[in-house]
Structure 1
């Protein structure tokens, strides 16, 4: 890290990709969570663990969209390293009025995979919003956060 404490700023305060050339390859994983709060009108449409919409099954489509986005994180976030993920698992559960999305990504690499997990969870949440907005705009993407990460300098666990 540079003097500012920010990892993507060089000595001249200009944006810079972190050089990971000297880092060790380690097994890394990260889990992120997004929470989508929806109306009773939308919740009433849940049948067999998913919401059927005119655009298709909402949760299944969100899982595919989140996985696709996680794989493209290096293209979406300017200073993020493009990495080949070993795995991406997205789980969607309903808890009262909340749709809880958990995205876990893993890789064996020189850099972490947190951004891929956060991107996967975020895009899955946005996909749920997009597919349900015709039924109700009473939808809030309340939270996206890192829940856990392993590998690299230090592990992190929120829950």
Structure 2
């Protein structure tokens, strides 16, 4: 039987950061993805590295890594984690850019929020860098692909 109680709300309906002190540290990993749809002209500008703001894919990857490390500052009830790996890969696809992230830590709670935040911020960075030339960009399919935990 599952407990349907919300863990981030206390008995009085107030915000509650879950106490994970009783949990054993584990190797935790999460993967997330998303994509941004772009015009053919924008894709060509990115491919040719002709965007005025610089190398779109590299900057988006760095932004995603930075975002993973800042997740607890952005999501109010998210735990601060010691991330051991944050990987963000951006690649051109036929209709835009595909973003895939992988975040890892040794901790008492998962890193799915970090992986999702990395994907979201990488996509937002692409949007920011391309907004002057593409007014019809659409971000979509931001999702958690996988999360795992392994005992130490």
Could you say which residue in structure 1 is the equivalent of 2:120? 122
What aligned pairs does 1:2-81 form with structure 2 within 5 A after superposition?
A: 4-47=4-47, 51-81=49-79
Partners of 1:55 and 1:9 lie apart in 2 by 43
Partners of 2:100 and 2:6 lie apart in 1 by 27
Question: What root-mean-square deviation, in Å, do the aligned CA atoms of Structure 1 and Structure 2 show?
Answer: 1.8
1:98, CA displacement in angstroms?
2.9
Partners of 2:5 and 2:92 lie apart in 1 by 39
Q: With CA pairs under 8 Å and 6+ residues apart, which has the higher RCO, 1 or 2?
A: 2
1:55, CA displacement in angstroms?
1.2
- Deviations 1:97-152 (CA, angstroms, capped at 9, x unpaired): 03110010000100100000000000000000000011111100112100000017
Could you say which residue in structure 2 is the equivalent of 1:156? none
Of 33-42 and 6-15, deviating more is 6-15
| Uncovered stretches (5+) of structure 1, i.e. residues with no partner | 153-159
Partners of 2:143 and 2:90 lie apart in 1 by 15
Q: TM-score, normalised by structure 2?
A: 0.92
Partners of 1:112 and 1:136 lie apart in 2 by 36
Q: TM-score, normalised by structure 1?
A: 0.88
Structure 1 residues 52 and 18, CA gap change in structure 2 (3 angstroms): farther
Could you say which residue in structure 1 is the equivalent of 2:107? 109
Number of residue equivalences? 150
